[in-house]
């Protein structure tokens, strides 16, 4: 039986601020919230649609250069977007795949986009991304308490 809440972060830990997603999920996991499952991956793939099964709500987390500082939260709507033509899918496309595979709407899902600046191979997390991550962690704690 799946935990009612899923937090799913993705990114490459070795590409500077791209590590924000998995790092934030790691820190949330360390807080041991009951009823919360934390998962990470390099990128979203179609089978991740199955991770949404049986959830009450889901939070996706990724780094973004387009997000406001320190982060942006938006509700997600299933959408058949162009990312279907790639190895990596968007969260909207994952929700769409869930609908198609399961024959029912996905659970309520949100996107937490944490502002990142630099994504070069071998870089550490930038100091600004570290601040954004801390701010995002506080928001996630409130979201989980809600």
Partner 1 sequence: MSFELETAVHPEKLKRVAIEPVSRVEGHGKVTILLDENDQVHQVRLHIVEFRGFEKFIQGRPYWEVPVMVQRLCGICPVSHHLAASKALDMIVGAKLTPTAEKLRRLMHAGQMLQSHALHFFHLSSPDLMFGFGSDAAQRNVVGIISAFPEVAKKGVLLRKYGQEVIRHTAGKRVHGTGSVPGGVNKSLSVDERDQLLKDIYQMVAWSREAVQIIRGLFEKNLEEYNAFGRFPANSMSLVRADGAMDLYHGGLRARDAAGKVIFDHHNYEHYWEVISEDVKPWSYMKFPFMKALGPDDGWYRVGPLARVSNCDFIPTPLADKAREEFLAFDAGRAAGATLGYHWARMIEMLHAAETIKDLLHDEDILGTDLMAKGERAQRGVGVIEAPRGTLIHHYRVNEDDQIIRANLIVSTTHNNQPMNEAIRQVARQYLNGKKLTEGLLNHIEVAIRCFDPCLSCATHALGQMPLEVELIDAEGGCVDRLVKNQLAASSAD
Residue 55: CB minimum distance to partner 1, A: 16
Cβ burial 79-97 (10 Å sphere, 16+ → b, else e): eeeebeeeeebbbbbbbbb
Residue 136: CB minimum distance to partner 1, A: 14
Residue 145: CB minimum distance to partner 1, A: 27
CA–CA distance, 1 with 4 (Å, rounded to integer): 9
Q: What track of x and - describes contact with partner 1 for positions 112 through 141 (by CB under 8 A)?
A: ----x--x-xx-------------------
Q: How far is CA 91 from CA 8, 82, 83, 98, 125, in A?
A: 10, 12, 9, 10, 23
Point out which residues bind partner 1 (CB under 8 A): 10-15, 17-18, 21, 39-43, 45-47, 49-50, 62-66, 80-88, 90, 92-93, 96-97, 100-101, 116, 119, 121-122
């Amino acid at each position: 039986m799946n935990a009612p809440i899923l937090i799913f972060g993705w990114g490459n830990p070795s590409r500077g601020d791209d590590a924000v997603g998995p790092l934030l999920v790691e820190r949330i996991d360390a807080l041991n919230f009951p009823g919360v499952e934390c998962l990470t991956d390099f990128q979203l793939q179609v089978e991740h649609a199955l991770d949404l099964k049986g959830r009450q709500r889901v939070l996706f987390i990724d780094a973004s250069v387009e997000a406001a500082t320190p982060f942006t939260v938006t509700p997600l709507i299933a959408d058949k977007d162009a990312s279907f033509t790639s190895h990596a899918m968007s969260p909207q496309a994952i929700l769409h795949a869930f609908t198609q595979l399961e024959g029912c709407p996905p659970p309520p899902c949100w996107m937490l986009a944490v502002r990142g600046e630099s994504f070069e191979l071998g870089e550490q997390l930038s100091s600004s991304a570290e601040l954004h991550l801390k701010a995002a962690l506080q928001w996630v704690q409130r979201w989980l308490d809600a």
